[in-house]
Amino acid sequence: MQLRMILEMEIYSLLQNSLQGRDRFLPSTTPSKRAEVYYRRALADFIRTMVNRITTALSKKNLTDAVAISDDDYINTLIEVLASIAGERIEEKAKILATRFVDKIHYQNKTQFTRNFQNAFGVDLTSIIEQETLADTLALAIDRNVELITSIKNDFINDIGSNVFTNYKKGFRHGELINEIRERGNVSYSRAKLIARDQTAKINADFEEERNKKLGFDIYKWKGTGDARERDSHRVLNNMLCKYSDPTVYSDDEGKTWKKRSSIKAFVGKCGEDYQCRCLAIPYIKL
């Protein structure tokens, strides 16, 4: 609180001169494409490694055993390798991956915010932004993504359990089994791609919120994507003013009055918070 007050006073004194007659909206920060691509690729590697371990184990079985291999042998090999993957602890690896991902989002958010502020108001916030640690948001985002990575692994194993074994019981050939495992890998990858995109937007939105709140900027303008995929509950908020401190209200008269979002069936939350939401928050800098 102490630090926040000092920051606010510093910014307000800096802004008093430059804000006169200037645009009071700041361009929004955008979720880092680089972070999303990094995460998507890292998750793809992670899934591919699991798929390869299983298919390699099953292929070896095929090559090394000269005598006819029974279905039971394949199933036993599959169970062994799945149990081995399931039993491995991946928290450390997942934490390194999640930390790199979240750091990339943080870096872009920080540099864009500073640059946008400089361009809009001619004020360099670099030293203030450097003091402003977003440690809570960082830690939460890393923890959440370690959980998501763990769930990708667990879902993949369970998915094989329910799909492959059911089909195998019906009489599966060796080649089909390998194809099925690759197919399960593709399903996991599709989910991982969605996770990478969703988390990039969400984490950026969380940084945006914490950064703005710490600087004393509570109000932002909701900027929708305006395309066909946008939900109606988000579309109705387009160009409306919103508050981080109260996501249940909006204003259509530049903040003079605040109305309940429920009255227009609008989403309750901030831009980027809803699943796969691509709406962006435009900070409203007001003295």
- Give me the least distance between CB of 277 and Zn ion, in Å please: 3
Taking the CB of residue 227, how many other CB atoms lie within 10 A of it?
Answer: 8
- Closest CB to Zn ion among residues 62, 225: 225
DSSP H or E run through 281:
strand 280-283
> Which ranges constitute the DSSP H helices of the chain?
2-18, 33-64, 71-87, 91-121, 126-131, 135-169, 174-215, 232-235
Task: Name the minimum Å distance from CB 111 to Zn ion.
Answer: 24
Q: 10 Å Cβ neighbour count for 245?
A: 9
Beta bridge partners of 282: 221
Please answer whether residues 242 and 222 qualify as being in contact, where contact means their C-beta atoms are separated by less than 8 angstroms: yes
CB of 128 to Zn ion, least distance (A): 30
- In whole angstroms, the minimum distance from the beta carbon of 231 to Zn ion comes to 6
Q: Is 263 exposed, middle or buried (0-12, 13-18, 19+ CB in 10 A)?
A: exposed
Nearer to Zn ion, 134 or 279 (CB): 279
- # residues near Zn ion by CB under 5 A: 3
Q: Give the one residue of 19, 43, 279, 285 binding Zn ion; rule: CB under 5 A.
A: 279
CA nearest to 149, candidates 263, 273, 49, 252: 49
Considering only CA atoms, give the Rg of the chain: 25
Q: Per-residue contact track with Zn ion, 180 to 219, x per CB under 5 A?
A: ----------------------------------------
Report how far apart, in Å, the C-alpha atoms of 157 and of each of 160, 175, 184 are: 5, 19, 9
Closer Cβ to Zn ion, 40 or 270, answer by number: 270
> Given the rule CB under 5 A, which of 28-36, 134-142, 201-209, 271-279 is the region that contacts Zn ion?
271-279
Region near Zn ion per CB under 5 A, out of 68-76, 175-183, 197-205, 273-281: 273-281
- The nearest distance, CB 266 to Zn ion, in angstroms, is 11
Least distance CB 187 / Zn ion (angstroms): 26
Q: Which of 192, 242, 249, 277 binds Zn ion (CB under 5 A)?
A: 277
Provide, rounded to whole angstroms, the least separation between the CB of residue 98 and Zn ion. 24
Spell out, one character per residue from 234 to 253, where the chain touches Zn ion: x when CB under 5 A holds, - when not. Answer: x-------------------
Give the interface segment with Zn ion, choosing from 85-93, 129-137, 241-249, 269-277 (CB under 5 A). 269-277
DSSP secondary structure string for all residues of 175-213 = HHHHHHHHHHHHHHHHHHHHHHHHHHHHHHHHHHHHHHH
Q: Which residues bind Zn ion (CB under 5 A)?
A: 234, 277, 279
